Amino acid sequence: MKTQVAIIGGGPSGLLLSQLLRKNGIDSVILERQTKDHVLSRIRAGVLERGLAALLKEAGCGARLEREGFIHKGTVLSFEDTQIGITFADHVDADVVVYGQTEVTRDLYEAHTAGNGKIEFKVKDVEIHDAKSETPYITYMAEGSARRIDCDFIAGCDGFHGVSRNTIPSNVREEFEKVYPFGWLGILSETPPVDDELIYASSPHGFALCSMRNANLSRYYIQCDSDDKVENWSDDAFWKELKRRIPQEAAQKLVTGPSIEKSIAPLRSFVCEPMQWGRLFLCGDAAHIVPPTGAKGLNTAASDVNYLYRALVQFYNKGDESSLKKYSETALARVWKAERFSWWMTSLLHRFPDQSPFDLKMQQAEIEFLRTSTAAQSVLAQNYVGLPY
């Protein structure tokens, strides 16, 4: 098989890139190791920056988002009995859209099918060859037979556990990582959200987050130990712990119900430099991971896709390779800002097991500065709604 751009990974990054390329007459093939149902079963954050919403619209996948997405014009940070309401419009001309990542992925798959996009599911043994040449290719197994795709470029959209990143030689790659000493225990419940806005709550008992998917589907998280297990948490135990971490006013009106999904996610910050090697380009979780505080995972994957797709269009339409050559530099400049914001929000809102009394005082001073400084709130707002591409 021959294509212009071979895409490894049929998650949000790979699907969005394929859709944008197709809209610009560029042929691609996606190789996905799972089934479509498996990909769509993943529960992930649901706060979309305006840049991602615009990119989905540009890709022809924004209609349902426009209809069903909830525009959020602010968010709330609570610290015991102190609440800091951030109204985005006071600081920046933007807002965010609350719309589940699963729905984004579903919309992308629908558009891919409608556009007769090429994708192979349940592939195995994907291997990248000659990435440093002008004729790279991929070998893989599908339906028990050996396959090969010859292409001009390879997009590594295969997430943190994919093969693309490790195709870059270890003496070329530099990896930066921070593993946080706690996780997030999250549940989905078919209950009305506790508030119109998201509540990021910090308490002496740990962090909690009140989020939502729609008017009758809520998403809640509590910070838990890194080695905690879902089976340690009954629904009642979760609700009881959540109530003592969020503002009392919210706790009193919280509508509880049976969880329809319950899972624990570890928290890590990770960046791989560079994000390209020859004609291999990394996008999204293949190149970087953020802790979920601030919901920058999908949004930062989208900014990578934005840069790569526009660079590929420039190459195929004008023969100009300049943007491709500086893709990694361009993408990383924004990636690191998203990493910083996610690390800052995580450090501000969580209780760390080894926190010294001085560390706690620093956290409290940071919170008090945020509460009293318009400039500090403006910095939070600019990062939360998404820095410009």
Catalytic positions, please? 72, 200, 292, 296, 384
Asked if 98 interacts with ligand APR (CB under 6 A), we say: no
Residues 264-323 that bind ligand APR (CB under 6 A): 284-285, 297-298, 301
The correct pick among 11, 74, 156, 292 for binding ligand PHB (CB under 6 A) is 292
d(CA 257, CA 194): 12
At 336, give phi and psi (nearest 5°): -65, -30
The correct pick among 59, 157, 311, 335 for binding ligand APR (CB under 6 A) is 157
d(CA 314, CA 225): 47
For residue 231, count other CB atoms closer than 10 A to its CB. Answer: 7
Name which of 9 and 292 has its Cβ closer to ligand PHB.
292
Asked if 47 interacts with ligand PHB (CB under 6 A), we say: yes
Residues 207-266 that bind ligand PHB (CB under 6 A): 209, 211, 219
Stretch that binds ligand PHB, among 1-9, 19-27, 42-50, 329-337 (CB under 6 A): 42-50
Q: Could you tell me how many residues of this chain bind ligand PHB (CB under 6 A)?
A: 11
Name which of 136 and 294 has its Cβ closer to ligand PHB.
294
Beta bridge mates, 142: 145
Pairing of strands 217-224, 280-282: unpaired
Tokens 């809520």 locate to: 218
Asked if 6 interacts with ligand APR (CB under 6 A), we say: no
d(CA 247, CA 199): 9
* Residues 174-213 as x/- pattern, contact with ligand PHB by CB under 6 A: ------------------------x----------x-x--
Asked if 45 interacts with ligand PHB (CB under 6 A), we say: yes
At 129, give phi and psi (nearest 5°): -125, 145
Name which of 12 and 292 has its Cβ closer to ligand PHB.
292
d(CA 350, CA 97): 25
Type of residue found at 232 = N
What's the closest the beta carbon of residue 355 comes to ligand APR, in angstroms? 27
Asked if 77 interacts with ligand PHB (CB under 6 A), we say: no
d(CA 373, CA 87): 14
**Helix (H), strand (E) at residue 153:** strand 153-156
First vs last Cα of the chain: how many Å apart?
34
Q: Could you tell me how many residues of this chain bind ligand APR (CB under 6 A)?
A: 26
What's the closest the beta carbon of residue 156 comes to ligand APR, in angstroms? 9
The binder of 74, among ligand PHB, ligand APR, none, by C-beta within 5 to 8 A per type, is none
Asked if 328 interacts with ligand PHB (CB under 6 A), we say: no
d(CA 185, CA 199): 16
d(CA 315, CA 85): 45
The correct pick among 62, 69, 159, 386 for binding ligand APR (CB under 6 A) is 159
Give the dihedral of Cα atoms 120, 118, 6, 135; nearest 10 deg.
Answer: 110
DSSP 2: B
Name which of 8 and 246 has its Cβ closer to ligand APR.
8
Residues lying near ligand PHB in the complex (CB under 6 A) are found at 45-47, 198, 209, 211, 219, 292-295
